[in-house]
C-alpha cells in the first residue's frame, strides 16, 4: 500500500534529540506532527525535501529568553528561527509582562518594555493575547517574581510583608492556572534584591500543585555564588519543585576557575533533588549598565543608552577617557543604559557547557540597539565552534542540550525529540558549515548552515530567510 503524507524529508542524517547515535533516514509529516521515521521508500508526499548530506534535528528550544514582548512586536522571530530555534521559554530573570499594569516599569523590567506593554492585570490576559497572535516560534512563559513584587508592593527597597507575599502567591497561582510553566526570580536586580528567602518560598508555593518549576537568576554569580546556589536549592526543596539556575557562570577575575566548585555542588545537589542549569556560549554577559561591575570586568561595551545614544557600541573605558571622567562617572552619565561585560573565563564556560545537565539558552535581549551576539548566535556557536571545531562534545550531545534535555526539564510534551507522534518542529542544517555569524562588532548577523526550519509542520525559515508563516503555539503548563 502506498502511504501518503504532507511532507517527506528524504535521506537526512537524523539526530533525534535524545542522544541516539545518528542514523540515515526519512521523516514523514502529516499536519502538525511527525507521522513516521525510517526508510520510507514506498511513501509519497505533497512535497519532498532532499536532505542528503544534511542533519535533521528537533527544532532547538531556547531555554532562556526575554522574548515576552518580541513575540508580539516581531512575530517573524528572525533572530531565533535563523539559528534553528522553534520554541522559546520567556519570562526569565524575574521579568514577565504580566500580571502588571505600569507605564514606567522600574529597571530591569524595562529590559523588555518601556512602551506601555505592561498592560495585563491578569496573566490569563497575556496568555489570551499571545495565543490569539501567534509568532513563527512556539512559546512557553513563566511568571516573574520581580513583576509580582512591583504589582504587590508600594516600595521595593524592603522585604515584602506577609500579606504582600501572600498576594504574590495568589497572583502566581493565577498565572500557573492560566498556563505559566514556572516562576522566575532575579534577586540580583535591585527591585528584588530585598526579597528574603521566605518571601520567595511563599510566592513560589503554588508551583508544586501545577507542576511548575523554580528558575532563578541568583542573587550573586561572583564572590558569593555558593551561598546563592544553596539558597536556590533550599527554595526548590521547601516548595518541592525542580530548580533551574539561569545562565550559570562564574563572574570576576578573582573567581576564575570556580566552576569546578559550583559544578561539584550541583552534582551533589542533583543526587537529592531535581536541579539543572542553562548556559550561553560566551565569556561576556549582558544586562543593565552598573558601576559595581567595573572591577569584575576586563572590558565593558555599551548596548544602549537613553541619554547618550551616540556612545552605543563603544567601550566604557574609551568613553570615560573622552569625557575626561572616571568610569563610574561615565556610567552615571550614560544611565539608564545596557552593557556587555567581559568577565568570564573561557575554561569555566566550557566546563559548564560540558556538564551533563546544562541546557543551551541564549539569554538574548532582543530590544537592545546593539545586542550581545548571543541573541543571533548561541545555537550555531555551540554546534559549530564548540562541538565540531573544539570537540567539546559530540553533535548528538550538543543537540540534546538544546532539544530533548530542555523539553524534559521544562515539561514540554512531544517537543525536543524526533519520533513518530511528536510535533514536527524540525531544523535541517549542514554540520560542516554550521556556525555563528553574529560577533560583538556585528551582532545581528544570521547563522551559517541553517538550511530549513519548520514549526508544527510549517516552514518558517528557508533559503536564508523567514517565510512569513506564523505557526507557533502557546505551550501552556500541563496542556
Ligand atoms: Zn538573568
Ligand atoms: Cu535573562
State pLDDT tens for residues 314-364: 999 999 999 999 999 999 999 999 999 999 999 999 999 999 999 999 999
Q: Measure the CA–CA gap between 479 and 473, rounded to whole angstroms.
A: 12
The Å distance, Cα 71 to ligand 2 centre, comes to: 16
Mean pLDDT in residue range 197-212: 98
Cα 10 to averaged position of ligand 1 atoms, centre (Å): 40
Q: Quote the ligand 2 centre to 140 CA distance (angstroms).
A: 15
| CATH fold group of domain 59-284+343-410 | TIM Barrel (3.20.20)
Q: 361: CA distance to ligand 2 center in Å?
A: 9
Please tell me the predicted confidence (pLDDT) of residue 101: 97
Q: Looking at the predicted structure, is the pLDDT value of residue 209 above 70?
A: yes
Q: Which ligand is nearest to the CA of 251?
A: 1
Does position 49 have pLDDT exceeding 90, yes or no?
Answer: yes
* pLDDT at res. 19: 98
Ligand sitting nearest the alpha carbon of 66: 2
Q: Give 273-321 pLDDT, tens digit per residue.
A: 999 999 999 999 999 999 999 999 999 999 999 999 999 999 999 999 9
**pTM of this structure:** 0.98
For the segment(s) 285-342, the CATH number from 3.30.1490.130, 3.40.50.2000, 1.10.1490.10, 3.40.50.620 is: 3.30.1490.130
Of all ligands present, the nearest one to the C-alpha of 365 is: 2
Please check the confidence at residue 478 and state whether its pLDDT lies above 80: no
Residue 184 CA to ligand 1 centre (angstroms): 10
Q: How far is the CA of 45 from the centre of ligand 2 (A)?
A: 42
Q: Residue 114's pLDDT is what?
A: 79
Domain boundaries, the chain: 59-284+343-410, 285-342
Cα distances (angstroms) measured from residue 120 to each of 99, 164, 220, 292, 398: 5, 19, 30, 33, 37
Ligand 2: distance of its center to the CA of 170 in Å?
24
Q: Which residues make beta-bridge pairs with 215? A: 184, 244
pLDDT at residue 1 is higher than 70 = no
pLDDT score of 116: 87
**Which residues are within 5 Å of ligand 2 (an ion), measured at CB?**
92-93, 363
pLDDT in tens, 211-254: 999 999 999 999 999 999 999 999 999 999 999 999 999 999 99
Give the 3-state secondary structure of residue 442. coil
Cβ neighbours of residue 345 closer than 8 Å, sequence gap 6 or more = 250, 256, 257, 283
Q: What is the pLDDT of residue 298?
A: 95
Strand partners, 44: 4
One fold for 59-284+343-410 and 285-342: no
DSSP-derived secondary structure letter, 195: -
What does the pLDDT read at residue 479?
63
Quote the ligand 2 centre to 363 CA distance (angstroms).
5
Pull the grid cell for residue 238: 521547601
Give the helix, strand, coil percentages of the chain, each rounded to 5: 35, 25, 45
Cα of 66 from ligand 2 centre, angstroms: 6
Question: In the prediction, which pLDDT does 56 show?
Answer: 99
Mean pLDDT (the chain, rounded):
97
**Which-ligand-closest: CA of 216?**
1
Task: State in Å: Cα 64 to ligand 1 middle.
Answer: 9
Percent of the chain exceeding pLDDT 70 equals: 99
Q: pLDDT tens for residues 74-126?
A: 999 999 999 999 999 999 999 999 999 999 999 999 999 878 889 999 999 99
217 alpha carbon – ligand 1 mean position (Å): 5
Amino acid at each position: 500500500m502506498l502511504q501518503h503524507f504532507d511532507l517527506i524529508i528524504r535521506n537526512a542524517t537524523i539526530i533525534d534529540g535524545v542522544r541516539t547515535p545518528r542514523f540515515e533516514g526519512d521523516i514523514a509529516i502529516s499536519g502538525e506532527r511527525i507521522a513516521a521515521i525510517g526508510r520510507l521508500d514506498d511513501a509519497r508526499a505533497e512535497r519532498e525535501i532532499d536532505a542528503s548530506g544534511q542533519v535533521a534535528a528537533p527544532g532547538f528550544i531556547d531555554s532562556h529568553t526575554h522574548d515576552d514582548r518580541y513575540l508580539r512586536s516581531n512575530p517573524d522571530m528572525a533572530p531565533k528561527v535563523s539559528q534553528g530555534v522553534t520554541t522559546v521559554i520567556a519570562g526569565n530573570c524575574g521579568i514577565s509582562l504580566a500580571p502588571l499594569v505600569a507605564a514606567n516599569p522600574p529597571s530591569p523590567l524595562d529590559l523588555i518594555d518601556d512602551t506601555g506593554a505592561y498592560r495585563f492585570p491578569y496573566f490569563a490576559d497575556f496568555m489570551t493575547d499571545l495565543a490569539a497572535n501567534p509568532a513563527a516560534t512556539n512559546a512557553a512563559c513563566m511568571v516573574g517574581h520581580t513583576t509580582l513584587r512591583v504589582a504587590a508592593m508600594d516600595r521595593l527597597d524592603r522585604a515584602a510583608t506577609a500579606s504582600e507575599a501572600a498576594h504574590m502567591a495568589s497572583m502566581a497561582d493565577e498565572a500557573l492556572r492560566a498556563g505559566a510553566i514556572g516562576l522566575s526570580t532575579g534577586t540580583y536586580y535591585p527591585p528584588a534584591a530585598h526579597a528574603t528567602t521566605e518571601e520567595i518560598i511563599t510566592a513560589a508555593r503554588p508551583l508544586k500543585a501545577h507542576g511548575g518549576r523554580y528558575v532563578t537568576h541568583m542573587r550573586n554569580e561572583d564572590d558569593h555564588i555558593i551561598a546563592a546556589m544553596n539558597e536556590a536549592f533550599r527554595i526548590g526543596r521547601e516548595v518541592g519543585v525542580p530548580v533551574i539556575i539561569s545562565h550559570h557562570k562564574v563572574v570576576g577575575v578573582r573567581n576564575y576557575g570556580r566552576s569546578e566548585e559550583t559544578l561539584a555542588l550541583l552534582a551533589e545537589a542533583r543526587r537529592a533533588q531535581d536541579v539543572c542549569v542553562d548556559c550561553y556560549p560566551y565569556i561576556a554577559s549582558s544586562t543593565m549598565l552598573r558601576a559595581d561591575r567595573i572591577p569584575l570586568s576586563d572590558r565593558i561595551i555599551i548596548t544602549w543608552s537613553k541619554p547618550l545614544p551616540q556612545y552605543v557600541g563603544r567601550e566604557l573605558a574609551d568613553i570615560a577617557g573622552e569625557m575626561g571622567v572616571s568610569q563610574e562617572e561615565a556610567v552615571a552619565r550614560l544611565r539608564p543604559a545596557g552593557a556587555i561585560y567581559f568577565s568570564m573565563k573561557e575554561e569555566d564556560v566550557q566546563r559548564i557547557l560540558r556538564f551533563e545537565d546544562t541546557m543551551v539558552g541564549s539569554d538574548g535581549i532582543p530590544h537592545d540597539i546593539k545586542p550581545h551576539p548571543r541573541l543571533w548566535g548561541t545555537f550555531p556557536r555551540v554546534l559549530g565552534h564548540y562541538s565540531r571545531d573544539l570537540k567539546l562534545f559530540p553533535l548528538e550531545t550538543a543537540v540534546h542540550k538544546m532539544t530533548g534535555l530542555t523539553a524534559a526539564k521544562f515539561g514540554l510534551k512531544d517537543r525536543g525529540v524526533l519520533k513518530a507522534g511528536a510535533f514536527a518542529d524540525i531544523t535541517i542544517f549542514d554540520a560542516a558549515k554550521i556556525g555563528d555569524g553574529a560577533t560583538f562588532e556585528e551582532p545581528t548577523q544570521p547563522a551559517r548552515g541553517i538550511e530549513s526550519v519548520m514549526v508544527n509542520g510549517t516552514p518558517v525559515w528557508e533559503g536564508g530567510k523567514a517565510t512569513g508563516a506564523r505557526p507557533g503555539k502557546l505551550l501552556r503548563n500541563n496542556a
